[in-house]
Structure 1
Amino acid sequence: MMKKLSILLFAFVAIVFISCNNAKQKNAETPDMHTSEMALDYLGVYEGILPCADCEGIKTQLTIHDDNTFTLVSDYLGEKEAKFEDKGSYFIESGEILVIQDEDGDQKYFKLQEGSLAQLNADKKMIEGELAPFYVLTKVR
Structure 2
Amino acid sequence: MKKMNQILAAALLACMAACTSNQKKEAATTETTATEAAAAAGDTTALAMTGTFEAIFPTTSCDGIRASLTINADSTYTYKSGYISEKDRQHESSGIYHLKAKDLIELITPSSGKKTYFKHVETGFVLSDSLGTVNQGELDGRYILKRQ
Q: How does 1:53-132 map to 2 (within 5 A)?
A: 54-78=61-85, 81-103=88-110, 104-121=112-129, 124-132=132-140
1:122–1:58: structure 2 CA closer, same or farther, 3 Å change rule? farther
Using the TM superposition, give the Cα deviation of residue 122 of structure 1 relative to its aligned residue in structure 2, in angstroms. 5.7
Larger Rg: 1
**Unaligned segments of structure 2, at least 5 residues:** 1-41
Using the TM superposition, give the Cα deviation of residue 35 of structure 1 relative to its aligned residue in structure 2, in angstroms. 6.1
Query: Runs (4+) of structure 1 moved beyond 4 Å?
Result: none
What is the CA RMSD across the aligned residues, in angstroms?
2.4
1:131–1:115: structure 2 CA closer, same or farther, 3 Å change rule? closer
Equivalent residue of 1:41, what SS? helix
Give the TM-score normalised by the residue count of structure 1. 0.64
1:55–1:139: structure 2 CA closer, same or farther, 3 Å change rule? same
Higher helix share: 2
1:79-130 per-residue CA deviation (whole Å, 9 max, x = no partner) reads 5752221111101112110111112111221111234112214653111122
Equivalent residue letter for 1:110: F
Using the TM superposition, give the Cα deviation of residue 49 of structure 1 relative to its aligned residue in structure 2, in angstroms. 1.1
Count of paired positions: 106
User: Aligned partners of 1:52, 1:81: CA distance in 2, in Å?
Assistant: 17
The 10-residue stretch of structure 1 (87-96 or 119-128) with the greater mean CA deviation from structure 2: 119-128
Identity %: 30
- Contact conserved, 2:123 with 2:144, CA < 8 A, in 1? no
1:30-50 per-residue CA deviation (whole Å, 9 max, x = no partner) reads xxx96623xx11111000012
Give the TM-score normalised by the residue count of structure 2. 0.61
